[in-house]
């Protein structure tokens, strides 16, 4: 009797299992990436770059997001001829059907020096961005990470509408303790952060205050060289004309030596009067640059907030 009950119980469990719907795995979004996907077995989110890696297979999945408007230019860079010049021979090219956009998939062997590799890539204009998902591996791994496996992975690619602010901050190699009511719209592990105050992520004609923070390698210049060094860095700022420096002087930023330049100028595209500030904070092997541009009419109200951001930046 017990045996019959056990058998009946097992059959009931089997029936329930077969009747239950199969749920696909949810896409995983690497930190600070709008692009997510269900990666093949063996891949884990990377702590080194935006994407996934499988060390045992010597394979990586790289995620790149660009503005939606760049899709035509990106598409031109993925012609068979352009890829051939980079060492990749296209053996597979397929159009992709997407719910709210378009895209394509290419794959083929790649010769890099003496090393034979295999690469697959999806380029898509969907979810309000241009996304590039590139799968790169040694040639021997293609036996298990096949085109079919990669093609199924591409079907899981999902674009989330926003990135949580804590993720954007987490990938930076420094801390920003006070955003001063600005919001961070772009960030990267290399140290670049873009902040603005307003509804638009892409700032045109200085419609909104705009802040760029970055890190560049290089030992701190000698005190007598810092004025010339700071002005040389400032001269590389794009999109300005009729520049008139109104203040240029050394200052301490936190525990480090720094340099401040404030200037009036015009936006090169629209002719709008603007005021800009550049702060350099010197370290032993690199310096941090903070550059901000604001319409001149709003400068007095925004400048104290910019200083709040500047003074809240600390090394991790």
- CA distance linking residue 184 with residue 150, whole number of Å: 33
For residues 71 and 105, membership in a common domain is answered with yes
**pLDDT, position 308:** 98
How crowded is residue 226: how many other Cβ atoms within 10 Å of its Cβ?
19
Output the CA–CA distances (angstroms, integers) from residue 36 to 31, 39, 52, 132, 152, in the order listed: 10, 9, 10, 12, 14
pLDDT tens readout for residues 68-120: 999 999 999 999 999 999 999 999 999 988 878 899 999 999 987 788 999 99
* CB-based contact 47:170 (threshold 8 Å): no
**pLDDT, position 22:** 35
* 115, 140, 159 - which closes a domain: 159
For residues 251 and 209, membership in a common domain is answered with yes
Output the CA–CA distances (angstroms, integers) from residue 278 to 11, 53, 71, 148, 250, in the order listed: 73, 38, 33, 51, 12
For residues 154 and 171, membership in a common domain is answered with no
For residues 102 and 125, membership in a common domain is answered with yes
In b/e form, how buried is each residue of 110-127, taking b as 16+ CB within 10 angstroms?
beeeeeebbbbbbbbbbb
pLDDT bin (cut points 50, 70, 90) of residue 24 is low
Q: Give the DSSP H/E element, type plus range, for residue 7.
A: helix 2-19
For residues 128 and 217, membership in a common domain is answered with no
* CB-based contact 296:273 (threshold 8 Å): yes
**82: domain CATH number?**
3.40.1000.10
Residue 106 burial (C-beta neighbours within 10 Å; 0-12, 13-18, 19+): buried
Closest CA to 157 of 237, 242, 204, 98: 98
In a domain, 291, yes or no: yes
> Does the pLDDT value for residue 237 go beyond 60?
yes
For residues 193 and 213, membership in a common domain is answered with yes
* 143, 159, 175 - which closes a domain: 159
In a domain, 6, yes or no: no
* CB-based contact 169:187 (threshold 8 Å): yes
Residue span of the structural domain in which 304 resides? 165-315
> Does the pLDDT value for residue 19 go beyond 80?
no
- CA distance linking residue 54 with residue 200, whole number of Å: 37
- CA distance linking residue 198 with residue 195, whole number of Å: 10
In a domain, 20, yes or no: no
Locate tokens 């509408």: which residue?
161
| Cα–chain center distance at 121 | 17
pLDDT bin (cut points 50, 70, 90) of residue 8 is very low
For residues 151 and 177, membership in a common domain is answered with no
* 127, 159, 191 - which closes a domain: 159
- Above pLDDT 70, what percent of the chain? 92
Locate tokens 């089997």: which residue?
14
For residues 202 and 296, membership in a common domain is answered with yes
Domains identified in the chain, total number: 2
**pLDDT, position 127:** 93
Q: Which residues contact 8 (CB under 8 A, 6 or more apart)?
A: none
> Does the pLDDT value for residue 296 go beyond 80?
yes
């Amino acid at each position: 009797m017990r045996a019959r009950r056990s058998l009946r119980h097992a059959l009931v469990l089997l029936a329930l299992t077969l009747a239950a719907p199969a749920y696909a795995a949810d896409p995983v979004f690497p930190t600070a990436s709008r692009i997510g996907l269900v990666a093949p077995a063996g891949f884990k989110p990377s702590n080194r770059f935006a994407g996934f890696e499988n060390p045992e297979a010597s394979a990586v999945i790289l995620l790149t997001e660009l503005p939606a408007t760049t899709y035509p230019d990106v598409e031109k860079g993925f012609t068979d001829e352009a890829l051939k010049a980079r060492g990749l021979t296209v053996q597979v090219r397929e159009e992709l059907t997407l719910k709210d956009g378009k895209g394509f998939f290419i794959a083929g062997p790649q010769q890099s020096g003496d090393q034979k590799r295999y690469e697959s890539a999806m380029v898509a204009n969907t979810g309000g961005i241009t996304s590039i998902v590139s799968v790169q591996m040694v040639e021997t791994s293609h036996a298990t990470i096949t085109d079919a496996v990669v093609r199924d992975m591409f079907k899981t690619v999902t674009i989330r509408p926003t990135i949580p602010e804590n993720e954007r901050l987490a990938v930076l190699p420094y801390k920003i303790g006070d955003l001063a009511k600005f919001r961070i719209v772009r960030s990267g592990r290399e140290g670049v952060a873009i902040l603005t105050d307003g509804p638009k992520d892409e700032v045109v004609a200085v419609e909104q205050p705009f802040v760029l923070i970055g890190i560049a390698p290089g030992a701190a210049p000698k005190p007598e060289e810092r004025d010339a060094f700071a002005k040389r860095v400032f001269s590389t700022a794009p999109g300005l004309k009729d520049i008139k420096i109104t203040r240029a002087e050394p200052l301490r930023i936190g525990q480090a030596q720094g340099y401040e330049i404030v200037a009036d100028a015009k936006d090169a595209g629209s002719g709008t009067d603007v005021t800009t500030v550049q702060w350099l904070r010197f370290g032993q092997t690199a310096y941090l640059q903070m550059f901000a541009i604001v319409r001149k009419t709003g400068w007095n109200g925004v400048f104290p907030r910019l200083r709040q951001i500047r003074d809240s930046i600390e090394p991790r």
